Structure 1
């Protein structure tokens, strides 16, 4: 995962070129997240999670999700991964706030620019022929039935 300036915030290298399965990659990724970024468990308490070839690993992963207060259960794998990545990023930022401080400033500037760019919508001239043409093009694209009043069609 990269921050706005292109610096690596979280970097995981998979076992490229190995004969591993997607499930093995997934389990290795979870172990890596815990070992390197989240660090919820003490090192000596990570053994069950690290035993990726165990048939009981899904049970330990489910316990892990509960222990880190993840709102998603094991059957919602992608959502759980997204949540864990979000947690890892928050923790990484907390550990290295000074390192990422400039990125926050850039994001604030981008938000200010977005607000400035949104201002034309506030002062929109609904009688402008380009606006009318845009509404008609949008209606065609969305296959909306035409109406004599283009503002009704826009709604």
Structure 2
């Protein structure tokens, strides 16, 4: 989820936001190398990640950074990681404007050339994902689908929206739910069910029919799980991460 931002910041370590030690190390590294809010001698308490009082120190650090969210968000390591990385990137760009200005100009020129050549191309290319109109529409869509909206990574949110729609709101998913609902209330008499053989005892015959029904039910349950597994694997294999701006498709 954070691979691109950490790569842009030259953070050369693996990162798992749910690992508290890795989170603290990343936060300290961003302060030391990119943000530099405090003077060097004022970072000692923040660097002491084993200190039992580190959480209070970090909360004070976020206040000094003008962290814009409420206190509950301080415990959300994923949202905090996203915000800290975005802040670090902003500071990095501010410190090296002349360095990144040619890159920004080239990107804009390439986009303009692409738009002029591909007037009838993918309509998604024309969307301004940073506009307030897009963000407002995304928030409403996420609220409708009950998807968290606290992340700044619009790519991840769009993937989540796509997953919800394809797995729960597609025609195939709706038809599957309807079949389950319709198939849950079948009424029939066990005497009408053919056994295929006769033991000569009515009670034993009925017991055999019941065992046969249970066996058939187990087979259907197993087949359903197999089908669901196949669909999940196909969905995973057929969902490469695409960055249309970079012209890359793949993992």
The TM-score by the shorter chain falls in which range?
A: 0.5 to 0.7
Task: Report the Cα distance in structure 2 between the residues aligned to 1:115 and 1:30, rounded to whole angstroms.
Answer: 39
- Equivalent residue for 2:181? none
Larger deviation, residues 33-42 vs 81-90:
81-90
Q: Which has the larger radius of gyration?
A: 2
The structure whose RCO (Cα within 8 Å, separation 6+) is larger is: 1
Separation (CA, whole Å) in 2 of partners of 1:37 and 1:116: 37
Q: How many residue pairs were aligned?
A: 118
Q: Scaled by the length of structure 1, what TM-score is found?
A: 0.62
Tell me, yes or no, if structure 1 residue 70 matches structure 2 residue 98: no
Q: Give the 3 Å change call, closer, same or farther, for CA 78–32 of structure 1 in structure 2.
A: same
- Deviations along 1:72-92, whole A, 9 cap, x unmatched? 331222112111111111111
Question: Residue 57 of structure 2 corresponds to which residue in structure 1?
Answer: 60
Q: Measure the CA separation in 2 of the matches of 1:62 and 1:111.
A: 41
Asked if the contact 1:49/1:60 (under 8 Å) is kept, the reply is yes
TM-score if structure 2 supplies the norm length? Answer: 0.40
Correspondence for 1:143 among 152, 171, 174: 171
Question: What is aligned with 1:12?
Answer: 11
Query: For 1:109 and 1:15, how far apart are their aligned partners in 2?
Result: 34
Q: Deviations over 1:105-135 (max 9, x none)?
A: 13212442564477438xxxxxxxxxxxxxx
> Do 1:49 and 1:61's aligned partners in 2 also have CA atoms closer than 8 Å?
yes
The root-mean-square deviation of aligned C-alpha atoms, in Å, is 3.2
The residue that corresponds to 1:44 in the other structure is: 41
SS in 2 for 1:48: helix
User: SS at the partner of 2:109?
Assistant: helix
5+ residue gaps, structure 1, are 122-140, 146-155
Q: Structure 2 unaligned segments of length 5 or more: list them.
A: 122-168, 175-251
Q: What is the SS of the residue equivalent to 1:41?
A: coil
Runs of at least 4 residues of structure 1 off by over 3 A? Answer: 113-119
DSSP 3-state at the match of 1:74 = helix
Residue 57 (structure 1) shift: 1.0
